[in-house]
């Protein structure tokens, strides 16, 4: 199957490089409410409930919940090797910056196109936070 790459500019917050399949959540995410050993979202009623964030490029509007649990949640996923490979967000806040910094996961925002329009669950994505670039692999 043919594919081409679409490169979009973004703004680096926490540096690094990560690639994987996109997983899009329209709802904010609390990483504490995922299973630390599998990365499966276990928050009742959440749009991603039952799905795993492991190895994905996670696209979501923002973080939520108290700082203590959010940071520990993402850190534990990273320790068990089931964290997302990169985070693309719309509204960044301090707790999310700290979470990504501690877990050493690239975090970007201000994509030049609305990430919820441009990215769908399953799209292959490369995030080069250092260069401020998001690359989408589009299948034809």
Please name the residues in contact with 120: beta carbons below 8 A apart, sequence gap of 6 or more: 22, 24
Annotated active-site residue 62? The verdict is no
State the minimum distance, in angstroms, from the CB of residue 105 to other proteins: 12
Full strand arrangement of the beta sheet holding 107-109: 3-9, 133-139, 124-128, 17-24, 57-60, 86-89, 107-109, 11-14
State the minimum distance, in angstroms, from the CB of residue 3 to other proteins: 32
Q: Which position among 3, 25, 62, 66 bears the catalytic label?
A: 66
Give 108 or 123: the residue with its C-beta nearer to other proteins: 108
Sites of contact with other proteins (CB under 8 A) = 12-14, 28, 62, 64-76, 79, 91-95, 97-99, 101-103, 109
Give 45 or 50: the residue with its C-beta nearer to other proteins: 45
Give 84 or 123: the residue with its C-beta nearer to other proteins: 84
State the minimum distance, in angstroms, from the CB of residue 104 to other proteins: 10
Could you give the residue numbers annotated as active site?
Answer: 66
């Amino acid at each position: 199957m043919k594919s081409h790459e679409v490169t979009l500019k973004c703004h680096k917050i926490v540096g690094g490089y990560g690639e994987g399949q996109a997983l899009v959540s329209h709802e904010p995410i609390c990483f504490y409410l995922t299973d630390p050993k599998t990365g499966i979202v276990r928050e009742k009623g959440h749009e991603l409930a039952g799905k795993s964030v492991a190895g994905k490029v996670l696209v979501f509007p923002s973080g939520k919940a108290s700082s203590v649990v959010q940071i520990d949640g993402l850190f534990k996923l990273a320790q068990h090797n089931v964290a997302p490979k990169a985070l693309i967000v719309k509204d960044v806040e301090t707790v999310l910056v700290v979470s990504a910094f501690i877990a050493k996961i690239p975090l970007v925002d201000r994509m030049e196109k609305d990430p919820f329009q441009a990215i769908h669950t399953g799209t292959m994505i490369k995030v080069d936070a250092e260069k401020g670039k998001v690359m989408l692999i589009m299948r034809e």
